[in-house]
Amino acid sequence: MWKGGTTSMSWLSTMPSFYSVIIGVTFIFHTNGIPWTEEKLQHRAVTLTEDEIRAALSHTDLEQMWQRDLRPLLVTRYPGSAGNQAVQNHIKTTLGSLGAGWEVMEDKFVSQTPYGQLPFTNLIATLDPSAKRRLVLACHFDSKYYPPQWHGREFQGATDSAVPCAMMLELARALDEELKAQKDSSPDLTLQMLFFDGEEALFQWTPTDSLYGSRHLAKKMEATPHPAEATNTNQLQGIDLFVLMDLIGAPSPTFGSQFQDTSSWFTRLQSIEKRLHSMNQLAEHPNSVQYFWPDRHVGRVIDDHVPFLNRGVRVLHLIPSPFPSVWHTFDDNEENLDRTAIQNLNKILQVFALEYLNARPAVPSDPQNAP
């Protein structure tokens, strides 16, 4: 991603926004009297009880995430590389092995880059493709390309963005039962995960040498009718909230809210942090709030959310401010990750997803009360 800089900001502000126009011509009304595309604006999350939270978090396992999800991602994986293909296979295999039944689609394309034409592949995993509305979690799985003079040193991109992608895989695994139950209850709201290729600039960050995958997918989703037979609504309108995670995994991350229209969801992340703190679910977490600061001003950062934001999608951008000190250095590796912070954030994210999806976990009955 790219922070600051007047060039990038002016590029951001000159990108067109079509969403208000699209909404204006959408007249497909749901049974409750508002168009389904506007239900997201009135969406209410459930608040899980402490017993439900304990049940929900009983399956999350940092060591398992580390070995099964994260390690296979810590390879050189710039677009078109063998590692990039291996990581795609890893994501597809991992989600495909789960009981909830994820549909995983590929969005393959070729783009001109400073190094000539290169192949890119985004992965789109959807829990229930028949549901109109989607809570989206997103990360980029490519790593930054360093040319051959750096040979001998490998850029792992551990926070950038292997950890966020592993956190998404861990969420799908740990909440497999809950997500399956939520899907089986046939709500019109589901979970979708987007794994972007080509976030990084290959040579130097410009509007055309960056965000290859997200630019391609946002445009494609805008042009794809949704639901399938729709004539005037598209896949972007199916996104309730687009939660992008980036640069996560370093010690002591702090996040600020960047967007007014999603600030209530950002505040909910803080409320979950406080609740988990009071339940002693967060390790090395001395104060009730360490991570999520809704009132803290943070500058906007150009990242994979921008092509979606500019088309009217509501965004939560979970990127620490300041960035990790290892950002875009060879020290952004496994050794410098903070396991405790990652596990704490895993728990907060998992509760957030369940509450947003109105997915109450089954609470095991107390064996002492059993007959």
Q: Which residues bind Zn ion (CB under 5 A)?
A: 160
Bridge partners (DSSP) of residue 191 are: 135
Shortest Å, Cβ 86 to Zn ion: 19
Shortest Å, Cβ 141 to Zn ion: 12
Give the tokens for residue 85.
Answer: 């293909």
Shortest Å, Cβ 324 to Zn ion: 10
Give the tokens for residue 54.
Answer: 């304990």
316 and 22 in contact (C-beta within 8 Å)? Answer: no
- Please give the Cα distance from 300 to 304 (Å, whole number): 12
Is 284 annotated as catalytic? no
User: Taking CB positions, which residue lies at the least distance from Zn ion?
Assistant: 160
* Closer of 264 and 325 to Zn ion (Cβ): 325
* Closer of 179 and 326 to Zn ion (Cβ): 326
Shortest Å, Cβ 200 to Zn ion: 5
* Closer of 48 and 337 to Zn ion (Cβ): 337
**Annotated catalytic residue, options 69, 160, 199, 303:** 199
- Please give the Cα distance from 234 to 222 (Å, whole number): 6
Is 61 annotated as catalytic? no
Contacts of 226 (CB under 8 A, 6+ apart): 132, 233, 234, 235, 237, 238
Bridge partners (DSSP) of residue 49 are: none
* Closer of 69 and 160 to Zn ion (Cβ): 160
The two beta strands, 255-256 and 239-245, are: unpaired
* Closer of 214 and 350 to Zn ion (Cβ): 214
The two beta strands, 255-256 and 292-293, are: parallel
**Annotated catalytic residue, options 246, 304, 338, 355:** 246
Shortest Å, Cβ 88 to Zn ion: 18
Buried b (16+ CB within 10 A) or exposed e, 297-316: ebebbbbbbbbbbbbbbbbb
Residue 171, φ and ψ in degrees, nearest 5: -60, -45
Give the tokens for residue 306.
Answer: 């921008």
Q: Which residues are catalytic?
A: 199, 246
